[in-house]
A and B are shown apart, each in its own frame.
Chain A
Amino acid sequence: MTDILSITPRPSMAAGKTLLDVKNLVTEFPLRTGIFKAVNDISFSIEPGKTLCVVGESGSGKSVTARSILQIIDSPGRIASGSIILNRQDGTSVDLARLDPRSKAIRAVRGRDIAMIFQEPMSSLSPVHTVGDQITEVLRLHLNMSKAQARKEAAELLRQVEIPNPEQALDRYAFQYSGGMRQRAMIAMALACKPQLLIADEPTTALDVTTQAEILDLIKRLQQTTGMAVLFITHDMGVVAQIADDVLVMHHGVIKEYGPVDQIFHAPKDPYTKMLIGSVLKLEQKAEIRLARPPLDTTAEPILDIRNLSMHFGEMKALNDVSIALLPGETLGIVGESGSGKTTLGRSIMRLYDPASGEMHYRRADGRVVDLARLEGRELKAARRELRMVFQDPFGSLNPRMTVAQVIGEPLLVNGLSKGKELDERVCHLMDQVGLDPAGRERYPHAFSGGQRQRIGIARAITLNPRIIVADEATSALDVSVRFQVLDLLMRLQDELKLAYIFISHDIGVIRYMCDRVGVMYRGRLVEVGEADKVCNNPDHPYTQALISAIPRPDPRDRDRSKRFRYIEPSPHIDPSNVKNRSSVR
């Protein structure tokens, strides 16, 4: 169908001849206090046509490794020692580590022999240049094409990455594309000069699971047709299991384990690798804390009963007639992809938004039932004390100019519940409860790690003895190893304080681990509600089935993608000319 397909297979390299050989690479960042080695003495190699996954948590040095290869490390980082040998097709070799980052020689490699795609396709594309402009630029730079030739080739590239109406799409801007389309355009740009190696730095992390599955498929297919090698950086073990040939596990700048994917998943030797795999497998089942609990009393009166709730932003129906009930002591999961309305639901419950219509009957501790959707003034304030929220971003949700004690104590102070020494004691107690050392209460949030900050956010949420906590993607920004600790903490607090949770997440694994019941949202509607086990393993609604089928299974022996499909809403009108409309793409 395309140019790339018609390429004759690469002349097979001599046996054992690798494409890229990295030896004893050290990349360091000079700091005021000394030198920080972000990448410390790592060696690996990539063979043509193969996929090497570099996996690790934040700060492991995986991104710096990738950037070292192209010499595009953020200032003031630099390669201190080691070699990066690139063996070109024509038999020549070059040591990329020895090239000056601004030299012509390295610029000839960038984009031509080795191309790279990034995590956030929106910010990785220029906001003020058309997509076509940015693609033709590479073609004209490396292949000396004329404008017309380059444009023709760029349209061809967009067709290969399955962007509909490529001719028109060339003249559009990145913000007019959907998330998945942007990443496709990035891939098209990277493939423009038919590189031998594609470096993909968390290319699917910012995307929904269904879109992620499509992008992974696309990369795989292009790899098969062009024979290029892929260096894939990710923190997601599920993705690794699905696409890797070899795996490199990194932690704090050093290699923990390096080997074939099957060995890493089924016979890991290093304790860190074992921990990573273990934490992924843990998400495949219920939490131990929950297994030990007595079954939930399903006959109890619901603490929160949402009926026919709707919320509009202009034309968009963010919530469309949503009805769901929350039992006392229950954890209700809300899953859905971006734009499905799950966050809007959480915020409407908190009355951060005023819903357009519908009711939210909340049962107070004294048995009185109030409609949260109608409450005003003092009544609303009283109800808000009993409904609290934990936010996604542990960095943005804490005021950097307030000490931890001030952050946690603020709800008590503004509600006039305690002050002075008593306040201090309560703050210490709360910090104990969430597993933080009260000695650190006079420090500012920046002194704490992501997981600790999320604990601060939780302490703030439970300060006023709430009865319902809405947790909006509360663990999404955390590394897997920390994620469990926070989830387990939430469940422990639930037992201690008799809390009911509304747990909003896009991660089915977390939902399965944590939740009793799950509601699945799709374009503002609640399409399915049921027991967590049922919804996660055997869902009824075709959308949920599609969603579950798209989740990469953390087992390299289970790579059957034939069951995966895309849910297409039976909609009366789909405008095929709309690039933003993803449903016309497989």
Chain B
Amino acid sequence: MLKFIIKRLLWMIPSLFAVSFLAFVLIQLPPGDFVTTYIATLASSNEVVDQNTAAALRERFGLDQSMLVQYLKWIWGILSRGDFGISFEWQQPVSGLIWERMALTLVLALASLIATWAIALPIGVYSAVKKYSIGDYAFTAFTFFGLSIPSFLLALVLMYIAAVEFGADVGGLFSPEYETAPWSIAKTLDLLSRLWLPVAILAVSSTASLIRVMRANMLDELPKPYVTTARAKGLSEFRLLIKYPLRIALNPFISTIAWLLPNLISGSVVVAIVLNLPTAAPLLLQALMAQDMYLAGAFVLLICALTLIGSLISDILLALVDPRIRLE
């Protein structure tokens, strides 16, 4: 087991290098660079930038060098100093920008994950155990509804209702007075009071799909002979459900950890933009559009690292909970 983990960790090193290089190339692939975008932005506000200034800017940002040199410099900075470079657009160190956003992203993602699992798993089990009952049909209708409505639309509608009907200000994660304030108990409370809307919106579609998956998993397990065996022992329905089929039906969810982690960054872009949430996804999008390559590159690198770590964690967890994987 330990050998397996070490092997996997060692494999992550070449994978990260390959992906970081690929990410770097991809970000530079579109014609032009950050300076071009910058000049275009200035031009739209009738400011003219002459060629010399542009060249000076390029030199300052190191954009006049070849791509390979830029990449090596960037990677060297990360490896030697943990320096991910400076964001052109924000004129701040990339790492600072990312960590600031990541904390809130994590809070939001975890909250919606917990909400999703807490709602979906019991409903999925109920739907499977009471197959074709009225309750099952009701939840099925809800899940199809939840799956088919795009979450940004749901966000718009809920924002409209909240703003027009209840006069509540629901954009963003903080009230205006706390937006730039340092962290305090009041700010945390403010965050919590505003968190429910994005969490609810993000949870709806994932809850819906999770209910379907859980129901299908349970329906696969329920007719298995070991369930009948447990029943023939005299266990109560509830106890045997929890101990046997539920335990096995949960296994596939552990595999989903592999893509839950990268989803922290790249997931729910549209909802975050619609709700004006200060999370990582809109920042990533903006960086890509502005060809702010150190910031975008750092994000892509982070996504890749999280994917690899996520799949390692899920593999280890699977082996821990399922003796068939651990011992065979």
Contacts and interface: CB of A to CB of B under 8 A. Distances in A.
- Real binding pair: yes
Interface of A: 67, 70, 72, 74, 102, 107-112, 115-116, 118-120, 123-130, 137-138, 141-142, 173, 175-176, 186, 189
B76 interface: no
27 contacts: A70-B232, A72-B232, A74-B228, A102-B236, A107-B236, A108-B234, A110-B231, A116-B232, A118-B228, A119-B225, A124-B225, A124-B226, A125-B226, A126-B226, A126-B244, A127-B226, A127-B322, A128-B321, A128-B324, A129-B243, A129-B244, A130-B323, A141-B234, A142-B234, A173-B327, A176-B327, A189-B233
A102 B130 CA distance: 14
B84 to A, nearest CB: 43
Interface in B232-260: 232-237, 243-244, 247-248
B176 interface: no
A129 B324 CA distance: 10
A46 B228 CA distance: 23
Nearest to B232: A116
Nearest to A142: B234
Interface string B116-152: 0000000000000000000000000000000000000
Contacts of B276: none
Interface in B203-239: 223-226, 228-237
A112 B232 CA distance: 10
A306 B231 CA distance: 51
Contacts of B229: 116, 118, 124-126, 186, 189
A173 B323 contact: yes
A176 B223 CA distance: 23
Contacts of A102: 236-237
Contact of A138 (B223, B234, B323): B234
Contact of A109 (B234, B244, B321): B234
Nearest to B251: A128
B47 interface: no
B247 A128 contact: yes
Contacts of B327: 173, 175-176
B177 interface: no
B328 A175 contact: yes
Nearest to B228: A72
Contact of B233 (A119, A129, A141, A176): A141
Contacts of A123: 224-226
A111 B239 CA distance: 15
Contacts of B231: 72, 110
Contacts of B243: 129
Contact of A137 (B235, B237, B248, B321): B235
A128 B323 contact: yes
B228 A111 contact: no
Contacts of A126: 226, 229-230, 244, 248
A111 B226 CA distance: 14
Nearest to A192: B233
**How would you classify the secondary structure of chain A's contact residues: helix, strand, loop or mixed?**
mixed
A127 B248 contact: yes
A473 to B, nearest CB: 22
A186 B233 CA distance: 11
Given A111-B232, A127-B248, A127-B322, 20 more contacts: A72-B231, A72-B232, A74-B228, A110-B231, A110-B234, A111-B234, A115-B232, A118-B228, A119-B225, A126-B226, A126-B244, A127-B226, A128-B248, A129-B243, A138-B234, A141-B233, A141-B234, A175-B324, A175-B327, A176-B327
A136 to B, nearest CB: 11
Contacts of A138: 233-234
Nearest to A75: B131
Contacts of A142: 234
Contacts of B226: 123-127
Contacts of A129: 243-244
Nearest to B230: A126
A120 B227 CA distance: 13
A463 B165 CA distance: 75
A123 B248 CA distance: 13
Interface in B287-328: 321-324, 327-328
Contact of A118 (B225, B235, B236, B323): B225
B323 A107 contact: no
Contacts, number: 78
A118 B228 CA distance: 9
Contacts of B248: 126-128
Contacts of A70: 232
A100 B286 CA distance: 63
A112 B323 CA distance: 29
Contacts of A67: 228
B245 to A, nearest CB: 9
Nearest to B236: A107
B225 A120 contact: yes
A178 to B, nearest CB: 15
A116 B236 CA distance: 16
B233 A110 contact: yes
Contacts of B328: 175
A127 B323 CA distance: 8
Contacts of A125: 226, 229
Contacts of B322: 127-128
A137 B322 CA distance: 19
A67 B232 CA distance: 9
Q: Which 3 A-B pairs have the closest CB atoms?
A: A110-B234, A111-B234, A111-B233
B234 A107 contact: yes
Contacts of B234: 107-112, 138, 141-142
Nearest to A113: B234
Contacts of B233: 110-111, 115, 137-138, 141, 189
A353 to B, nearest CB: 22
Contacts of B237: 102
A112 B231 CA distance: 12
B235 A141 contact: yes
Contacts of A112: 234
B225 A110 contact: no
Contacts of B247: 128
Contacts of B321: 128
Nearest to B321: A128
A137 to B, nearest CB: 7
Nearest to B227: A126
Contacts of B236: 102, 107
Contacts of A130: 323
User: Which of A108, A110, A130 is packed against the most chain B CB atoms within 10 Å?
Assistant: A110
Nearest to A104: B236
A67 B248 CA distance: 24
Nearest to A112: B234
A410 B298 CA distance: 57
Nearest to B224: A123
A106 to B, nearest CB: 8
User: Which of B235, B237, B321 is packed against the most chain A CB atoms within 10 Å?
Assistant: B235
Contacts of B323: 127-128, 130, 173, 175
Contacts of B228: 67, 72, 74, 118, 124
A130 B243 CA distance: 13
A110 B233 CA distance: 5
A138 B235 CA distance: 8
A72 B231 CA distance: 7
Contacts of A111: 232-234
A72 to B, nearest CB: 5
Nearest to B223: A74
Nearest to B323: A173
A116 B243 CA distance: 20
A119 to B, nearest CB: 8
User: Which of A110, A126, A186 is packed against the most chain B CB atoms within 10 Å?
Assistant: A126
A274 to B, nearest CB: 34
A176 B236 CA distance: 28
A110 B240 CA distance: 14
